[in-house]
Amino acid sequence: MKDSNPSTEPIGQNLIKLISNLCFSVFVFSVLIITVIAITYQPPDPWLESAPALTKLFTESENATFQNDNSILKTGEDLTLGKAESPASGPVGFSITEEVIEKTEERIANLTPKSDSGCDESRVLNCSDPRVLLAVEKFNLRVFKSIVFLDYQTPLNGSKEEECDVSWRFRNKKEKSWRKYRDFRRFRFGVGENCTYKVVHAGGWHSGINARRSRSRISNATKGRPSSPKIAPPVQDEEINDTIPSLGSEMNFRKGKYLYYSRGGDYCKGMNHYLWSLLCGLGEAMYLNRTFVMDLNMCLAATYNPSNKDEEGKDFRYYFDFEHLKEVASIVEEDVFLRGWKKWDRSHKRKLPVRKVVSHKMTPMQLKKDKNTVIWRQFDAPEPENYWYRVCEGQAANYIQRPWHAIWKSKRLMNIVSEISGNLDWDFDAVHVVRGEKAQNKELWPHLNSDTSPEAILAKLKEIIQPWRNLYIATNEPFYNYFDKLRSQYKVHLLDDYKELWGNKSEWYNETMILNNGRPVEFDGYMRVEVDTEVLYRAKTRVETFYNLTKDCKDGINTC
């Protein structure tokens, strides 16, 4: 018995040691895995991380229904804003709500003397009476459910004694930016309960021309003309400031740190490609804590042009909000930067310190500690090695965040969107009809042509949309009368019904001419798609081609 004990003890101890070692190995291995994940994990870009994610974004963006047709994608003003992205000034969260109206009502009631003599319904309407504005605020909240009302101006007299013209600023609930739009309408009033005022009739979009803007700002061209409650002259958006900033003094220029991208293979590519590359450059500049040198000259790809040719000489500000970009990113316009650089080199013996980078394989991480004034990335290699976005591939994708919040659509184009939606009183439905080359390609889309025929569309819409609703049709179908059969059941509206909004008497026309050195700007294919898509996005009911009208796959056979 004594001899057996020593022989059994080592076996038990060895078993315990084996189990301990095994557990410890598992623990160490787990720690190692967690450490690797912690080091390499990058919080997901709200938009993209990989090529599949890019494809998914371009095809599933909620307000970009022309995807993969070289159309538009969701941009920064469609994202929910975080605290860090709140505007620097103004009560961003303030709006005219029922609670605000109730408090105003109580305050007015306390200030109004009581009278036992009843209401005098024959009294002259005083438009500056706060009860008039209160009636308008109540009416607007009840009627325009999709609008956030931000502030009102004091009502002004209309054309008749019982009318007042009222102006306000607003935004659509589906647009998350803090940009403000303006409407002014003519209201007719009657006497309601407890001697209050009530709206008995409201005019249409921009009908209250006396509240359009202060008289001191009305141009000489409009003076002396008879006013019309139905047609208002163009309204200049005085909040737009997309002027190009200067660099300041030579010393300020020298103290700066710049990231300069030479033009690469992205030029004249589709707009989605352009944005993907531009935001790579902006993201690298932010990572390196440098000012990005921005070329505002763009080339619009042939797919957006009736001529089917690339068109140079386009300005970034035609399509995107340069003012917002200036506010959220450190940028300098290319011509301004090159003039400053040339001036410095001409007036100083010591040239500006520059580091030229000839390959996208030089990563942003390798440039992080570079002290040169200018890091100049040159993209001279053949395609696709000369695409800007190659800088943000591979390991760099874990460090560079594309600042999608910096890109908003042009306020001038969004004003057109608001004009169209406002003319429809923000109460309309929409159908998106993809035709064009896809409808003719029976190999990839065998049923698309027949499924988007007027008869087929009408039959489908009858199941979804009530008759005689306002129906906006967003489409690439070039023939205006193609949808005439739908007019038997709906009030049909197409983008071309609103040509005056970009015609030669419009504010858009005048403003873009200034940007283009006095030369008229064409309302091109991308602008049309941008406006069409955004109006579609604001509809109460949306009918999609590849989800409602046809069973064909969006990207061709067997891609569903």
Q: Which amino acid is at 266?
A: D
Q: Is the dihedral of CA 480, 484, 486, 488 positive or negative?
A: positive
Residues spanned by the domain of 118: 98-222
H-state helical runs in 289-379: 316-319, 322-328, 334-347, 364-367
**In this structure, are 469 and 361 located in the same domain?**
no
Nearest to 498 by CA among 557, 387, 422: 422
- pLDDT tens digit sequence for 78-131: 664 443 343 433 344 578 887 877 777 777 766 665 554 556 666 788 999 999
Domain assignment of residue 504, yes or no: yes
**What is the distance between the alpha carbons of residues 184 and 86, in angstroms, rounded to a whole number?**
27
In the 8-state DSSP scheme, what is residue 546?
I
540 contacts 427 by C-beta, under 8 angstroms: yes
Q: Which two tokens stand for residue 194?
A: 């407890």
Number of structural domains the chain divides into: 4
Together in a domain, 368 and 453: no
Cβ neighbour number for residue 61 with a 10 Å cutoff:
19
Same domain flag for 307 and 341 = yes
**Domain identity same for 371 and 472:** no
Average pLDDT over residues 302-310: 89
Q: How far apart are CA 521 and CA 531, in angstroms?
A: 16
Assess if residue 75 is contained within a domain: no
Identify whether residues 138 and 26 lie together within a single domain. no
Q: What percent of the chain has pLDDT over 70?
A: 80
CA distances from residue 405 to 257, 269, 345, 523, 537 in whole angstroms, order as listed? 23, 22, 36, 26, 19
User: 386: closest CA among 428, 415, 408, 357?
Assistant: 357
How sure is the predictor about 184, in pLDDT bands with cuts at 50, 70 and 90?
very high
Q: Are 215 and 222 in contact (CB under 8 A)?
A: no
Domain identity same for 380 and 434: no
292 shares its domain with 168: no
pLDDT, tens only, 229-277: 333 445 567 778 889 988 877 777 888 999 999 999 999 999 999 999 9
Q: What is the mean pLDDT of the chain?
A: 83
**Residue-wise burial string across 257-289, b where 16 or more C-beta atoms lie within 10 A, e elsewhere:** bbbbbbebbbbbbbbbbbbbbbbbbbbbbbbbe
Same domain, 421 and 377: no
- Whether 130 maps to a domain, the answer reads yes
Do 383 and 432 lie in one domain? The reply is no
Query: Which is it for strands 429-433 and 374-377: parallel, antiparallel or unpaired?
Result: unpaired
Q: Is residue 376 part of a domain?
A: yes
3-state secondary structure 188-247: EEEECHHHCEEEEEECCCCCCHHHCCCHHHCCHHHCCCCCCCCCCCCCCCCCCCCCCCCC
Q: Do 398 and 449 have their domain in common?
A: no
Residue 391 and residue 254 share a domain: yes
Per-residue model confidence (pLDDT) at position 58? 37
Residue 140 located in a structural domain: yes
Q: Does residue 373 sit in the same domain as residue 315?
A: yes
How long a stretch of residues is the chain? 560
- pLDDT value of position 72: 56
Do residues 405 and 329 touch, judged by C-beta distance below 8 A?
A: no
> β-strands 311-315, 542-543: how paired?
unpaired
- Asked if 35 contacts 28 with a C-beta cutoff of 8 angstroms, the reply is no
What value does the mean pLDDT take over residues 135-151?
94
